[in-house]
Amino acid sequence: MLKSLTAIIFGLMLLTACGGGENSNDEMEPETNTEAMAEESNEATLSIEGDDQMQFNKKEMTVKAGATVTLTLKHTGTMAVTAMGHNWVLLKQGTDVATFATAAVEAGVDGDYVPAGTTAVIAHTKTIGGGESTTVEFTAPEAGTYEYICSFPGHWAMMRGKLIVE
Ligand code: ZN
């Protein structure tokens, strides 16, 4: 799936490169041009906060398919990770969130509330307490809508949102 996605993105970039071809000359290496554009257009920085009221400050975020996403989760509260821990877990489409959340609780604090060997997770941060931040980098999946949750026990019902990939 990733391979075909990469092919699509590369194809799109080639199309774009051709579109701007009027100004290019024969001495310019097409490959150099493509690489420069990839760096420019394929990175995204996201930030989201969790608080002591068991809330994310964003219910929806948007990125481009195939983008290298750097997401920072900040815990703006003061409560300890054991009492009000937060993480950010991006789930594959079709994942039953309730079932996943139950498995996450079983994974426990040692497993960072992510079931070992799970295939349902696209990306996740570690679990943090008040005043802390954590960052995760991942490649945005193909276009679609993906759910994210905090998988700390009991939080997912309140702490969930949608990542829209365009
Ligand atoms: Zn939480």
This prediction's pTM: 0.76
Tell me the residues surrounding ligand 1 (ion) with CB < 5 Å.
86, 150, 152, 155, 159
Evaluate if residue 51 carries a pLDDT over 80. Answer: yes
CA of 155 to the centre of ligand 1 (A): 5
Evaluate if residue 116 carries a pLDDT over 80. Answer: yes
Structure tokens at 135: 């960052």
CA of 152 to the centre of ligand 1 (A): 5
The SS3 of residue 58 is: coil
- pLDDT at residue 109 in the model: 87
List the Cα angle 79/88/68 in 5-degree steps: 135
Return the closest-CA partner of residue 100 out of 30, 149, 39, 51. 149
CA of 154 to the centre of ligand 1 (A): 8
